[in-house]
Amino acid sequence: MDAEIKEVSKSVVYYERETYHTLEINGKNIIVCVYVKQDARFSIHDKDVDIIQGKELLTKEEQEKIQDYVKELD
């Protein structure tokens, strides 16, 4: 079964370097924190993704899909 991910809400903190996303995957609401790593010229060079609520509800495949999905977000 292919899981569909939908962004329910987004909050931006600390000059857009840290964002919180509420995502829905297979009917489960998950809260994810994304911290953007930038260099001195504010070029994005990496993102750390942390599932801060609902991780225990997810299968390993769903967790991987969320990681991939969030890294593609702007």
Tell me, what CATH number does 56's domain have? Answer: 3.10.450
Report residue 29's pLDDT band, with 50, 70 and 90 as the boundaries: very high
The string of DSSP letters for the chain reads -PPPEEEEEEEEETTTTEEEEEEEETTEEEEEEEEEEE-TT--EEEEEEEEEESGGGS-HHHHHHHHHHHHT--
Domains identified in the chain, total number: 1
Please state, in angstroms and rounded to a whole number, the distance separating the CA atoms of residues 67 and 14: 21
* Host domain of residue 35: 5-71
Q: What pLDDT score was predicted for residue 44?
A: 63
Decide: 18 and 11 in contact? Cβ < 8 Å.
Answer: no
Could you read off the pLDDT of 33-49 as tens digits, one per residue?
988 877 767 666 678 88
Q: What pLDDT score was predicted for residue 34?
A: 87
Which residue, chain included where needed, has tokens 């909050």?
11
